[in-house]
Amino acid sequence: MLSGPSADASIERRPRAAPVPMQTSPRMVQVPQGPVRVLVASRSPAWSAGIASFVAVPELEPDIAFTVDGALERLDAVPHALVIIDRVLADAPAPELAAEVRRRHPEVRMLFALQDDSAEAHLAAIAAGASGCLLPTWPREAVLEAIEDALRGVNRFDTEGLRPLAGLARRDSRPAAPLTEQERVVLRLMRQHLTYKEIAQRLGISWHTVRTHAQSILRKSGVHSRRDLSAWDISDETSTPMREVAM
């Protein structure tokens, strides 16, 4: 091994190479190590496939789930940076998945698919914890721009313009009775039109226990039949009070 001043002098001094610029698509976040995983959650295979095709760029890796439980399984198994949530999943409305994501993976950003660009829709998305939204008329470039902003922590909502409406929403809100964790799971399975016996087999509990949970869910929701549960949101736990929304 060479040593001493003579060894140092024998080493050829070369200028340090300049760093190679990272290749990125237009308007996308630079990702230093591997692609960013984005989960698309919807009950619609066609909608999910369409958004996933938009997301399929070198910097992003799309994933798809159709139920709350399926989405949570993917989030638990592999880290995701962002979840794009459609208005309804196969077993629950969007805010219920959002509540579970906030509770179990608070570091994950969320974008909500909205039916329209109304202030009421924006307020509901903000209350559920969304960083931004997607509209059905948006082209691919607009979707990628919204994803970029969400990953950078940029809030795309007009919070100043919505502030007066947020005050009205606080005064008009009426919290529903909270569900237990077991009732949440039973509710999601009921929305998939499973019988009490099928739910009992899935969860490893008795048929009578499932019926008890179902009766409690109906009582707390204020609806009178299982059919009406498909549109019911667990508003007290899936919505963040407007006073807690950073506006």
Q: What does the domain layout of the chain look like in residue ranges?
A: 36-172, 181-234
Fold match, 36-172 / 181-234:
no
Let me know if domain 181-234 sits in CATH 1.10.10.10. Answer: yes
Taking only the tens place, the pLDDT of each residue in 95-106 is 889 989 999 999
The long-range contacts involving 115-121, CB below 8 angstroms and separated by at least 24 positions, are: 115/87, 119/161, 119/162, 119/165, 120/165
- So what's the pLDDT on residue 49? 95
What is the domain class of 36-172 according to CATH? alpha beta
- So what's the pLDDT on residue 187? 85
% the chain with pLDDT above 90: 30
**pTM of the predicted protein model:** 0.63
Distance (Å) of CA 88 to CA 58, 85, 112, 128, 241 = 28, 8, 10, 14, 21
Taking only the tens place, the pLDDT of each residue in 192-244 is 888 888 988 989 988 888 888 887 887 777 766 666 666 565 544 444 433 34
Longest dimension (CA), the chain: 91
